[in-house]
Amino acid sequence: DRIPHDAPVLVIGLGRFGAATAGQLERQDRDVLVVDTDAELVQKWAERVTHAVQANATDIDALRQIGAADFAIAVVAVGSSIEDSVLITANLVDLEVPQIWAKAISRSHGKILTRIGATHVVYPEAEAGERVAHLVSGRMLDYIEFDDDFAIVKMYPPALVRGRALAASKVLTKFGVRIVGVKTPGGAFQPATPETVVDDHDLIIVSGAEAALERFSALES
Ligand code: ADP
């Protein structure tokens, strides 16, 4: 959309989630303003990020004072207090921050956040739990699910696809999944082509619908 990809980000709350968000943004050299009620935490972060301010974000005037209305992107990383998370999100909506990412601890919390105007709601614990379920139940080494049931996984290749060109194993017609990348040990991931031959110790990246990927990853190794 119209928000520049390097727009400054306002991060509210420096708990585990907010700290991880702000830390990663900082590593990406993004302009970040972190806000927390805890003076000690703010002090600690002042050395790491562009700006760190002690403020109570449930107070809209405090948010105005720190210039929250000038941000195009804000992250509400306060989760454990649903009341605070809702009030802070409502304040950001009132200040007309266009992109508001909010962390929810439950589906109903997320529903409220969406209803009051959060543009993106994330469920870190539920999402991590679902990922772990996929990872422990098969050959999958990593699993990323997108909206609408589409996912990409990293996995060891089942016997069916090893030792011959990808075109010959016909996984798209047989399983509805597509092998998009292959990595030989020690090498980097390479885009897969119909001629690519997958060896025993390679890793593959596969995309497709969730159920199709589950079927594919359950194949004999
Ligand atoms: P996590 O589960 O990711 O660790 P928490 O919800 O436990 O997140 O942490 C929230 C952080 O947000 C804490 O550091 C807390 O001091 C801060 N916080 C809570 N309420 C406010 C508020 N109203 N304004 C600013 N920061 C807040």
Whether the pLDDT of residue 197 is over 70: the answer is yes
Q: 151 is written with which tokens?
A: 């996912």
**pLDDT value of position 21:** 97
ipTM comes to: 0.94
Whether the pLDDT of residue 191 is over 70: the answer is yes
**pLDDT value of position 147:** 77
The CB density around residue 188, as the number of other CB atoms within 10 Å, is 7
**Does the beta carbon of 58 lie inside 6 Å of ligand 1?**
yes
- Structure-token match 């405090």, residue found: 62
Average pLDDT, the chain: 94
Whether the pLDDT of residue 52 is over 80: the answer is yes
Question: Is the separation of the CB atoms in 32 and 51 below 8 Å?
Answer: yes
Could you give all domains of the chain from N- to C-terminal order, each with its CATH number?
A: 9-122 (3.40.50.720), 127-217 (3.30.70.1450)
What atom of ligand 1 comes closest to residue 79's alpha carbon?
Answer: 6
**pLDDT value of position 221:** 81
Closest CA to 66 of 12, 120, 6: 12
pTM here is 0.81
Question: Is the separation of the CB atoms in 182 and 190 below 8 Å?
Answer: yes
CA of 18 to the centre of ligand 1 (A): 8
Mutate to test the pocket of ligand 1, among 37, 59, 60 (most ligand atoms within 8 A of CB): 37
**Does the beta carbon of 56 lie inside 6 Å of ligand 1?**
yes
> How many C-alpha atoms does 74 have within 13 Å on its Cβ side?
29
The pairing of strands 203-209 and 189-191 is unpaired
Residues 122-172 pLDDT 10s = 999 998 998 888 888 777 899 998 878 899 999 999 999 999 999 999 999
Closest CA to 206 of 89, 137, 198: 198
**Does the beta carbon of 37 lie inside 6 Å of ligand 1?**
yes
Residues 63-97 pLDDT 10s = 999 999 999 999 999 988 999 999 999 999 999 99
Question: Is the separation of the CB atoms in 213 and 177 below 8 Å?
Answer: yes
**pLDDT value of position 135:** 83
Query: Once rounded to an integer, what is the mean pLDDT over residues 7-17?
Result: 97
Query: Once rounded to an integer, what is the mean pLDDT over residues 51-68?
Result: 98
Q: 192 is written with which tokens?
A: 């897969």
The Cα–Cα gap between 68 and 62 comes to: 9
Query: What pLDDT band is residue 1 in, cutting at 50, 70 and 90?
Result: low
Query: What pLDDT band is residue 112 in, cutting at 50, 70 and 90?
Result: very high
